[in-house]
């Protein structure tokens, strides 16, 4: 079996997902006004300088502090209620096309995300992806404890990919991985066909030196339009057409914590 592994933020969607959902989370009382304002500025910085391993570690620490006490059911409800409005129109058509191409060539498509699996998986399973590799937050009595069982970022993504490959028989040498960030270098190195998508400066340098494929996605599309276009198609085609967009949107509930992390960084 061959597979294609897709990062989410700035690979499938064209902007920071945390910024996309920060206002709905503010209205829900999950972030403060100060975090909302700092988040807007921090996301500009993130867009300009990217996220290296050090910043990913700071992201994790900010995530633990900010999410402590959040109700998992409330996070899932919020994502479900605002998912299209929050992301529209920031899904790359090129990402959707690539996922459809890989499926047509018999490869299993996986979303590899630092988002929690309880947010990503319920959405992803309805739209035809083979599976999700995601962060596992520790939950006690339905609440985030502020601890993680597994953080799916950096080397953790590569470990998750290799573990999955061993478990289900994926040929990584003939598989593909897509990401924009130098933080995902270990995941890209784990497959035979790494692809840098809209890469940050450090990843572009690595990709050029190693002669990896580099792609620049430039065509964000509206979820509502894509859903309307596929509504009259057979269910299998609907799944192929919108899977990446909907799964990508699932991360917005988790990555809003960049407002806290970026504030510390900048």
Helices within the chain (DSSP H only): 17-27, 33-49, 53-67, 72-87, 93-104, 117-124, 155-168, 185-189, 201-210, 223-230, 235-249, 252-255, 258-265
Whether 9 sits among the annotated catalytic residues: the reply is yes
- State the DSSP string of 210-266: HT-EEE----EE-HHHHHHHHTTS-HHHHHHHHHHHHHHHTTHHHHTTHHHHHHHH-
Q: Is the Cβ–Cβ distance between 151 and 116 less than 8 Å? A: no
Mean pLDDT of all residues in 82-95: 72
> Which pLDDT belongs to residue 4?
97
Which CATH number is correct for 3-265, 3.10.110.10, 3.40.1190.20, 3.40.50.1000, 1.20.1280.50? 3.40.50.1000
Residue 204 has pLDDT above 90, yes or no: yes
> Could you tell me the two tokens for 51?
């996220």
Q: Which of 69-78, 118-127, 146-155, 237-246 is least confident?
A: 237-246
Active site residue 7: yes
- Active-site residue, from 9, 88, 180, 184: 9
Selected catalytic residue, list 7, 88, 184, 200: 7
Domain ranges of the chain: 3-265
Average pLDDT over residues 229-245: 40
Q: Is the pLDDT of residue 125 over 90?
A: no
Helices 72-87 and 235-249 pack at an angle, to 10 degrees, of 110
Structure tokens at 236: 């299998």
Q: State residue 31's pLDDT score.
A: 61
Q: Are 116 and 131 in contact (CB under 8 A)?
A: no
Residues 173, 108, 255, 86: is their CA dihedral positive or negative?
A: positive
Average pLDDT rounded to a whole number, residues 239-244: 37
pTM for this prediction: 0.73
Does 188 have pLDDT greater than 90?
A: yes
Question: If pLDDT is split at 50, 70 and 90, which confidence band does 226 have?
Answer: low
Coil, helix or strand at residue 190: coil
| Run of H or E residues at 3 | strand 3-6
């Amino acid at each position: 079996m061959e597979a294609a592994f897709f990062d989410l933020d700035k690979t499938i969607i064209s902007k920071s997902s945390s910024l996309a959902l920060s206002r709905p989370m503010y209205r829900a009382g999950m972030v403060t006004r100060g975090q909302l304002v700092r988040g807007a500025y921090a996301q500009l910085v993130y867009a300009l300088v990217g996220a290296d391993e050090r910043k990913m570690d700071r992201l994790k620490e900010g995530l633990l502090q900010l999410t402590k006490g959040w109700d998992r059911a409330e996070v899932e409800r919020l994502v479900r209620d605002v998912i299209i409005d929050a992301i529209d129109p920031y899904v790359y058509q090129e990402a959707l096309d690539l996922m459809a191409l890989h499926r047509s060539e018999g490869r299993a498509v996986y979303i590899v995300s630092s988002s929690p699996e309880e947010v990503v998986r319920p959405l992803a399973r309805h739209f035809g992806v083979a599976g999700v590799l995601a962060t596992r937050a520790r939950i006690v009595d339905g609440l985030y404890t502020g601890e993680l069982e597994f953080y799916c970022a950096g080397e953790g993504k590569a470990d998750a990919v290799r573990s999955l490959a061993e478990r289900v028989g994926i040929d990584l040498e003939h598989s593909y991985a897509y990401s924009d960030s130098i933080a995902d270098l270990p995941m890209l190195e784990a497959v035979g066909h790494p692809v840098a998508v809209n890469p940050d400066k450090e990843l572009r340098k690595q990709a050029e030196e190693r002669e990896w494929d580099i792609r620049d996605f430039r065509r964000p599309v509206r979820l509502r339009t894509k859903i309307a276009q596929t509504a009259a198609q057979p269910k299998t085609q609907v799944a192929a057409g919108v899977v990446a967009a909907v799964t990508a949107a699932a991360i917005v509930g988790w990555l809003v914590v960049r407002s806290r992390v970026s504030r510390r960084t900048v």
